[in-house]
Amino acid sequence: MSNIISSNRPGGGIKWHWPSIHPEGRKFLLIAGIVTLCFWLLGWEIVGWLMLGVTLWVGAFFRDPVRVTPAGSDVIIAPADGLVTQIAEVPPPPEISGPDGLGAAPMLRVSIFMSVFDVHINRTPVAGTLRKLVYIPGKFLNADLDKASEENERQHFVVERTDGVRIGFTQIAGLVARRIMPFVTMGNELTTGQRVGLIRFGSRVDVYLPAGTTPQVLLGQRTLAGETVVARIGVAETIDGIGQ
Q: Which residues are catalytic?
A: 203
Alpha helices in the chain (DSSP H): 23-41, 45-61, 148-151
List, in sequence order, every residue forming a beta bridge with 103; answer none if it has no partner.
98
Spatial distance between the Cα atoms of 127 and 105, rounded to a whole number of angstroms = 23
Query: What are the φ and ψ backbone dihedral angles of 62, each rounded to 5 degrees?
Result: -95, 15
DSSP H or E stretch at residue 148 = helix 148-151
Largest CA distance in the chain: 64
At a CB cut-off of 8 Å and minimum separation 6, what does 30 contact?
A: none
Spatial distance between the Cα atoms of 105 and 125, rounded to a whole number of angstroms = 21
DSSP H or E stretch at residue 181 = strand 179-182
